[in-house]
Each structure stands twice: as C-alpha cells, then as structure tokens.
Amino acid sequence: MTASTVEIQQSAINTIRTLSMDAVQQANSGHPGTPMALAPVAYSMWADHLKYDPANPNWIARDRFVLSCGHASMLLYSLLHLAGVSKTDKNGNPVEGEAVSLDDIRNFRQMQSPCAGHPEFGYAAGIETTTGPLGQGLGNSVGMAIAGKWLAATYDRPGFELFGFDTYTICSDGDIMEGIGCEAASLAGHLKLSNLCWVYDDNEITIEGRTELAFSEDVAGRFESLGWRVITVTDANDLVSLDAAYAKFRETTDKPTLIIVKSIIGFGAPNKQDTSGAHGSPLGDEEISLAKEAYGWEHEKFAVPADVIEHFQSKTGKRGADAYAQWAEKYAEYSKKFADEAAEIELMGKDELPKGWEKSLPTFDADAKGMATRASSGKVLNAVAGSIPYLIGGSADLAGSNKSNIDAEGAGHFGADDYKGKNFHFGIREHVMAAIGNGMSLCGIRPYVATFFVFTDYLRPSLRLSSIMHQPVLYIMTHDSIGLGEDGPTHQPVEHMAACRAIPNVLVMRPGDANEVSKCYEAALSNSKRPSVLVLSRQAMPTLDRSKYGSADGVTKGAYTVLDTDGTPDAILIGTGSELQYCVQAAEKLAGDGVKARVVSMPCWKLFDEQSADYRESVLPAAVTKRVAVEAGIKMGWEKYIGNEGVFVGMEGFGASAPAEELYEHFGITAANIVEKVKSM
C-alpha cells in the first residue's frame, strides 16, 4: 500500500469524523463519539466490501447496511454524502440531486432536514430502516437477511444467481444488551444466515458510564454458542484487519458472522476516552479544535476535500456501478426467459400486489353455528396466499392456534435446509418476530406475523415502527378477548384494543363473522403504506345471512349498517368481533318490544374516520344520541362514537378463568344486558 493510498484513506476517515463533530456541534445536540470511533470501520465496509450502487440506491440486489446504533446517525449521513448516493422520487426511482447534501448535514437534527437525530426510513435514499430504539436494527437485519435467502431460493435460476444479497449491521453495547438483540441472534444462528454480518462496537461505554456497571458477559462465547462465526478486531483503526474480517464474512457459507471491534469512543480527542460528552452531547469548540489538531485536519468546518469525493467514486461508486451494470444485463436476459418470475419481482419493487388478487377472497355461507374468526382467517389466508406468491410469514410458536400456516402443496417451511419455504417458525420470540417482519417488508416481501393478541404487549415497539416506516406488515392476532376462556386474565386481552388503536397509522380490525374476516383481509392487503392488525376470536360466532343483513362490503369503510329499521332508529347498537352477534340478538328482541334499534358493525375505527362526513352521518346519524357500544375490552376511545349519552357494555377490569360463555354472562356482555341498557335510556 503506497503512502498516497494511506493518506487518502485517512483523509476519508477524518472527513467522516469531522462532519460528525461539526454537525453535532452546530445542532448543539447529538452523539459525536461513536461516529468518530467507527469511521474506519464504516469506511472499510463501504469502500471495499458493500455491494451498493449510489446511482441506484433501491436496486433490489444491493447489499443492505443497517446502523442499529441509530444515535450514531451522522456516521450514516456522512457516508451517504461522501458516496454520492442519488436522491430518489416518491416511487423510489433515482433523480437528479443528492440524497444527503452538505446543506442537509449542516442542518442536522433540524426541521425539514433528512438528517434526523436518528435515521428515519423514507427521509433519504440509503436509509434502509428506522433505527433508534436499540436492538430494532438487529431484528430488521435478520429480516433482511431472511429476505435475501428467500428471494435467491425462490427466484434465482441456474446461470441467473441474481437476487441474494448480504446484510451488514453496525451495532453497539446497547443493541447487544437488549432482549430483542438476543432473540435476533438466536434465530439467525439457528437459521444459519450466512449472508448476515453484525459489527459490534465493543467500546465498553454506555450513557451511565463503563459497561462493567451492568454488563460482564462473554459476548464472543455467547454468539459462538448461538451458532455464529466470531472474529475479533482489536483496533478499530486497523484497516488491514477490518478488511480481512469482512473478507472472512463473505467466505462464510454456513453461519452468520459477528465481528467484534474494539474501539475508543470519541477516538481522536486527545489523551482521553470520553465517557459522557462524546457519547451523548456536543464536544464543544475547544475539544473539536484539539481533536482536529490530533487528526492533522486543517480545513474549515464541514469541509469535504475534493479528493475524498473522488476516492469514494473510485471505490464504492465504481464497484457498485460495475456490479449493477452486470446485474442489469443479466436481469434483462432473465426477464425474457422467466417472465412470470420477473413480473413478480417488479411488483415487489413497487410494493404492489398481482392484479385481480382480490378475486381469490372467499365468501362464506350463512351458518348459525359459524366458526371462530381465527378459523375463517386461516381459510382466507390460504386463499389469498395462492394469488400473492410473496405473501409469506408465520407464528411465534402458535401456528396451530393462530391458523397461520400456508397449507398449499409445496409451500414448505423456511429453514436452513429450505430457504424457499413460505411458512416461518419464529419460536417464542414475539418481539423480534415483528422486527423481522419489518425487515422482510423493507425488502419488498409482504410478510405476516402471528401470535395471541395479548402478546402485542411484547411486540408493540416493532408494531409502532411498522407504522412509522409505513410498512404493510400484517399482524394476525388471535384469542382476542375474555372469550378465550380458561387460560384466565394473563392471556385475556382487555386493554389491548385501546392500546393498538392508539398507535397512529395502524389499521386495527376486529371482524364479527367469517365474511367480515375476508373483507378485513381485503382492506389490510390493499394498504401498501401501513400495517394492519387482525384481531380474531378463539370461540365460534354465527356467519350472518347476508340476504337478511347488510353486505360485508361495508367492512372496507370501517363501519356499516348490519341491521336497519324503518325510519329513524330509536337507538344504535355498535358491536365489534364476537360481540356483534349480541347486538343483533338485542336489536331483534327490542324490535319485539317496539323499540327500533339499528345495528352497526365497526371493525375498524380508523377506516371509518377516513370516510366522508356524509357516509359517517349515514351510519351514525347525529340525531340519534341513544347509543350502546359493545366490545369485550375496555371503554377507552368509545366515547367518540357513543357520545355523552351513550352507554358502553364491556370490561372495566381484568377477566377470569372460566369457560367463555360463563365469562360473558358474569361480565354482563349479553344480549339481555344490551336490551336493558337501551330501555334504561
């Protein structure tokens, strides 16, 4: 290696460092220490190993880079600027301009800048996922690695190895400590995801001080026991060792790789390892001046030497452009030979579903006995999965209860011996299951994940990120209420509908019979920019006779009239899920007593709120103030629909352990109680 090569490498590394210092200082907010320490680690990865074309940042076969320690966001923004990553339009196509300009960096952490405090997906091309809550990026990276394996196994053909890619992730002590990180590592090792590389910044510092305050485990030993290859680089500034470590990862074919890098946070600040300021706050002008002096940096603030840009163009840019050109030529040939497969790839790239997929949605005959909505969900899932080849997913060890298996011949089970399988087994790892779903979705797959509804408590942070990133992950949540019966209060979700409904941009749907389930799938899968939560029952409920009751098509509008009256109703009964049947029964009893009660099914508040004022008035006329809402959950939020004079029939506390029918009687969620409430008004 020549002296000039060493000089330009060091200049590139120091540019990353100084941009990070200057941006944090100007914002008077942020974390400069980790970008300073990890600049050589990220430089080596991007300059010599990452398969990434800055001119085509959404190329499906690109390697993914995840900065799981999102507080080090200036590391990513500096890389995107220096690599010259292209700006993209709303459809993800490259357009003129930079994804991250120098002005964007100058406005780090300010309104309208894509350089937010933590990386936010969608703010700029090259930000592959939203990271900030520690450990989430690790879960996402496993989902991305799974997507790479599945895409390659499903769409590659002999002579056309086009769709696999590697996923590189930089993570911190915090990521490694978080429980979701351990879940992710465990599953990745089990699945032998050899296309996954985590780089662990072992700097022994957290916000409160040295990691020895709360962390003393043998990380290398843990990961080796989880089935990972572990490589240690003792100095984050040793480019030769870093290069060799990345090369060893790319040679590994039977397990994921953890590269443990020993770094000094805020490296470059003279004569000390900063345990506070460099981690979580600006360094200050004096400290920055001393650090730049130690680097031999004689440029002004926010300086980007021209030769550094040229260096990145000759490394990341040229290697990526060459790789993309070769791929594009091969893909053009592939498209001619395998037109159907190419068409599916194109749809995934545009976040679209095959035309006419909704024709596969089943309808169900009237049935007084009916079935549990988890059972009808299983039937609908299997019907639509046949029309959407990239609708794949699984359960956190509850597939039999969730009815979430794809049963079609050849669907298979995803694992180290079959990366083409469509059925996933996440194990008892609800939180990382959802984070993995996000990672798969970010790669164009339409994933679904399943568990009991009560365990949305365990996966809520990842569900929230599904929403923030506008990812159409489908959450199949069964055992929706006290109706699950004998398992008792720990397993009976009571406050969970309110909690999930509180998350912006999430479609929370609780269907009242089999045909509503089918229409909920239509609403969920038609939305490509937000997640959906299907909340499904364990117990059976009648399949309504739609020749007598309103069409289930109204489900896609969030609420609709199931049973109407002649003229203005005296009262309106609003039900969801398994309680809809009690509203119908109550209305029919009230009619015999001369009380006109309209029954409204409201499976999804959010969809209803998005309808026109005229439609909402047609379903819930303001003049009818006598209203009863019925749901086997808490009242929170129902006030909006029942008003000051309305009554809620549901839960005020936790459930109990008993058969479902006894619980409903005990808690007063019955047709008889609904009738009594109406008459009392």
Alpha-carbon Rg for the chain in angstroms: 28
Q: Where are the domains of the chain?
A: 3-325, 357-542, 557-680
Q: Which of 291, 262, 289, 274 is nearest to 201 (CA)?
A: 262
Q: Classify 93 as helix, strand or coil.
A: coil
Q: Given the structure tokens 């001119």, which residue do they identify?
A: 55
State residue 96 phi and psi, 5-degree precision: -65, 140
> Over 50: is that where the pLDDT of 203 sits?
yes
Q: Given the structure tokens 């009230």, which residue do they identify?
A: 590
Q: Which two tokens stand for residue 27?
A: 């914002």
Helices (H), 63-204: 73-83, 102-106, 136-155, 173-177, 179-191
Angstrom CA distances, 430 to 208, 333, 461, 583, stand at 29, 41, 11, 34
Q: Are 408 and 385 in contact (CB under 8 A)?
A: yes
Q: What is the DSSP string of 26-49?
A: HHT-S--HHHHHHHHHHHHHHHHT
User: What is the helix (H) or strand (E) element at residue 170, kind and residue range?
Assistant: strand 167-171
Can you tell me the mean pLDDT for 117-145? 98
The architecture that CATH gives domain 357-542 is: 3-Layer(aba) Sandwich (3.40)
Q: Classify 610 as helix, strand or coil.
A: coil
Q: Are 415 and 408 in contact (CB under 8 A)?
A: no
Q: Which residues are known catalytic residues?
A: 430
For residue 90, count other CB atoms closer than 10 A to its CB.
7
State residue 160 phi and psi, 5-degree precision: -135, 70
**Beta strands per DSSP E along 319-407:** 367-372, 391-395
Measure the CA–CA gap between 15 and 536, rounded to whole angstroms: 54
pLDDT tens figures, 139-189: 999 999 999 999 999 999 999 999 999 999 999 999 999 999 999 999 999
> Over 60: is that where the pLDDT of 530 sits?
yes
pLDDT at 210: 87
Q: Given the structure tokens 């194109």, which residue do they identify?
A: 346
pLDDT tens figures, 353-411: 999 999 999 999 999 999 999 999 999 999 999 999 999 999 999 999 999 999 999 99
pLDDT at 206: 79
Measure the CA–CA gap between 509 and 494, rounded to whole angstroms: 15
Measure the CA–CA gap between 576 and 637, rounded to whole angstroms: 14
Angstrom CA distances, 355 to 320, 382, 388, 491, stand at 33, 18, 10, 39
User: What single letter denotes the amino acid at residue 258?
Assistant: L
Backbone CA torsion sign across 351, 118, 438, 458: negative
Angstrom CA distances, 536 to 143, 491, 497, 504, 521, stand at 25, 14, 11, 21, 12
Q: Which of 472, 478, 431 is nearest to 450 (CA)?
A: 478
Fold match between domain 3-325 and domain 357-542: yes
Q: How far apart are the first and last CA of the chain?
A: 87
> Over 80: is that where the pLDDT of 117 sits?
yes
pLDDT tens figures, 250-304: 999 999 999 999 998 765 333 344 433 445 679 999 999 999 999 999 999 999 9
Backbone CA torsion sign across 342, 345, 350, 353: positive
Can you tell me the mean pLDDT for 577-590? 98
Domain 557-680 CATH class label: alpha beta
| Strand order, beta sheet including 597-601 | 560-563, 597-601, 571-575, 627-630, 647-649
Q: Strand 196-202 and strand 257-262: pairing? A: parallel
pLDDT at 274: 42
- Sequence-separated (6 or more) residues with CB below 8 Å from residue 94: 55, 56, 57, 58, 86, 87, 88, 125
Measure the CA–CA gap between 85 and 62, rounded to whole angstroms: 13
Measure the CA–CA gap between 609 and 508, rounded to whole angstroms: 12
Can you tell me the mean pLDDT for 623-628? 97
Measure the CA–CA gap between 658 and 121, rounded to whole angstroms: 46
- Name the average pLDDT for the chain: 96
**C-alpha triplet 256, 260, 266: angle, nearest 5°:** 140
pLDDT at 211: 81
Q: Are 234 and 203 in contact (CB under 8 A)?
A: no
pLDDT at 40: 98
Q: Which of 154, 208, 196, 178 is nearest to 70 (CA)?
A: 178
CATH for 3-325, options being 3.30.930.10, 3.40.50.970, 3.10.580.10, 3.40.630.30: 3.40.50.970
For residue 7, count other CB atoms closer than 10 A to its CB.
11
Measure the CA–CA gap between 247 and 254, rounded to whole angstroms: 15
Can you tell me the mean pLDDT for 583-604? 98
